[in-house]
Chain A
Amino acid sequence: MGNNDVIVIGAGHNSLVTAGYLAKAGRRVVVLEKRSVVGGFATSEEIFPGFKISPCADTAGYLSNEVKADLKLDSQVTIIPLDPIASSPEPDGSHLTIWRDTARTVKEIERFSAADAAKYPAFVEQMTKIAGVVGGLLKLTPIDLPSVGLTDLRAALGLAGPILKLGRKNINGLLRVLPMPVEDLLNEWFESDVLKGAIAANAVKDISWGPQEAGTAFTLLYNWALSDTGLFRSASLVKGGIGELTRAMAETARGFGAEIRTDVEVKSIQVDQGKVAGVTLANGENIQAGVVVSGASPRTTFLELLDARTLDASFVRHVRNIKYRGSASRIHFTLSGLPEFPALAGSETQGYLRGPIQIAPSIAYLQRAFDCTKYGRPSNAPYLDIVIPTVADPSLAPSGKHIMSVTVKYTPYALRDGNWGSKGEEIAKLVVDTITEYAPNFRALIIDQRMITPTDLEAVYDLPEGNTNHGEMTLDQFFHMRPIPGYARYRTPVEGMYICGSGCHPGGGVTGLPGRNAAREILKDAK
Chain B
Amino acid sequence: MPRHTPFHSRTNVLCESQSWVEWSGYLSAQMYEMDHIHEYNAIRLSAGLFDISPLYKYFIRGQDAVALMNRVITRDASKCRVDQVIYTAWCDDEGKIIDDGTVARLGEDFFRMTTATPTLYWLQDNAFGMDVEIEDVTDAYGAVALQGPMSRDILQQLTDADMSDLKYFHLLETKLAGAPVNVSRVGYTGDLGYEIFADPDHCEKIWDALMETGADYKMLPAGMISLDMARIEAGLLLLDADFHSASSSIFELEKTSPYELGLGWMVNQKKGHFVGQQALRHENARGPATCTVGLEVDVLALEKVFAQYSMPLQLPYQSWVDAIPVYSDADQRDHIGRATSGTWSPVMKKYVVIARVKPQYAKLGTRIYLEQTVEARRFAVPATVVKMPFFDPPRKRE
Q: Decide yes or no whether A169 CB sits under 8 A from chain B.
A: no
CB proximity of A30 to chain B, nearest CB, Å: 28
B125 touches A317 (CB 8 A): yes
A309 touches B93 (CB 8 A): no
Q: Decide yes or no whether A320 CB sits under 8 A from chain B.
A: yes
Chain B residues lying within 8 Å of A317, measured Cβ to Cβ, are 125
B129 touches A308 (CB 8 A): yes
Chain B residues lying within 8 Å of A308, measured Cβ to Cβ, are 128-129
A312 touches B128 (CB 8 A): no
In the complex where A274-B278, A314-B93, A315-B93 touch, is A309 in contact with B125 (Cβ < 8 A)? no
Contact-residue size bin, chain A (C-beta under 8 Å from the other chain): 10 to 19
CB contacts under 8 Å to B, within A293-331, are: 303, 307-310, 312-317, 320
- B88-119 near A? 1/0 per residue, CB < 8 Å: 00001100000000000000000000000000
In the complex where A303-B129, A314-B93, A320-B128 touch, is A309 in contact with B71 (Cβ < 8 A)? yes
Q: Decide yes or no whether B273 CB sits under 8 A from chain A.
A: yes
Chain B residues lying within 8 Å of A314, measured Cβ to Cβ, are 92-93
In the complex where A274-B278, A316-B128, A317-B125 touch, is A310 in contact with B93 (Cβ < 8 A)? no
B129 touches A313 (CB 8 A): no
Chain A residues lying within 8 Å of B128, measured Cβ to Cβ, are 303, 308-309, 316, 320
A312 touches B67 (CB 8 A): no
In the complex where A314-B92, A314-B93 touch, is A309 in contact with B122 (Cβ < 8 A)? no
Chain A residues lying within 8 Å of B129, measured Cβ to Cβ, are 303, 307-309
Taken together as a complex, chains A and B put the C-alpha atoms of A461 and B273 apart, in Å, by: 32
B275 touches A309 (CB 8 A): no
Chain A residues lying within 8 Å of B273, measured Cβ to Cβ, are 309-310
B125 touches A313 (CB 8 A): yes
The listed residue with most B CB atoms (<10 A of its CB), out of A308, A313, A317, is A313
- A8-20 near B? 1/0 per residue, CB < 8 Å: 0000000000000
Closest-by-CB residue of B relative to A274 is B278
Chain A residues lying within 8 Å of B278, measured Cβ to Cβ, are 274
B67 touches A309 (CB 8 A): yes
Taken together as a complex, chains A and B put the C-alpha atoms of A308 and B92 apart, in Å, by: 16
Closest-by-CB residue of A relative to B125 is A313
Closest-by-CB residue of B relative to A312 is B93
Q: Decide yes or no whether B289 CB sits under 8 A from chain A.
A: no
CB proximity of B270 to chain A, nearest CB, Å: 12
Chain A residues lying within 8 Å of B78, measured Cβ to Cβ, are none
CB proximity of B65 to chain A, nearest CB, Å: 13
Taken together as a complex, chains A and B put the C-alpha atoms of A309 and B128 apart, in Å, by: 7
CB proximity of A128 to chain B, nearest CB, Å: 43
Closest-by-CB residue of B relative to A314 is B93
Closest-by-CB residue of A relative to B72 is A313
The listed residue with most B CB atoms (<10 A of its CB), out of A303, A307, A314, A315, is A314
- B269-289 near A? 1/0 per residue, CB < 8 Å: 000010110100000000000
CB contacts under 8 Å to A, within B242-284, are: 273, 275-276, 278
CB proximity of B341 to chain A, nearest CB, Å: 30
- B162-180 near A? 1/0 per residue, CB < 8 Å: 0000000000000000000
Chain A residues lying within 8 Å of B126, measured Cβ to Cβ, are 313
Residue in B67, B122, B125 whose CB lies within 8 Å of A316: B125
CB contacts under 8 Å to A, within B28-42, are: none
Q: Decide yes or no whether B239 CB sits under 8 A from chain A.
A: no
Chain B residues lying within 8 Å of A303, measured Cβ to Cβ, are 128-129
CB contacts under 8 Å to A, within B148-197, are: none
Taken together as a complex, chains A and B put the C-alpha atoms of A303 and B67 apart, in Å, by: 17
Chain B residues lying within 8 Å of A274, measured Cβ to Cβ, are 278
Closest-by-CB residue of B relative to A319 is B128
Q: Decide yes or no whether B130 CB sits under 8 A from chain A.
A: yes
CB proximity of A204 to chain B, nearest CB, Å: 32
21 pairs, CB–CB < 8 Å, chain A vs chain B: A307-B129, A308-B128, A309-B67, A309-B71, A309-B128, A309-B129, A309-B130, A310-B273, A312-B93, A312-B276, A313-B92, A313-B93, A313-B122, A313-B125, A313-B126, A314-B92, A314-B93, A315-B93, A316-B125, A317-B125, A320-B128
Binding site for B on A (CB under 8 A): 274, 303, 307-310, 312-317, 320
Closest 10 CB pairs of A and B: A312-B93, A310-B273, A308-B129, A313-B126, A314-B93, A313-B125, A313-B275, A316-B128, A308-B128, A317-B125
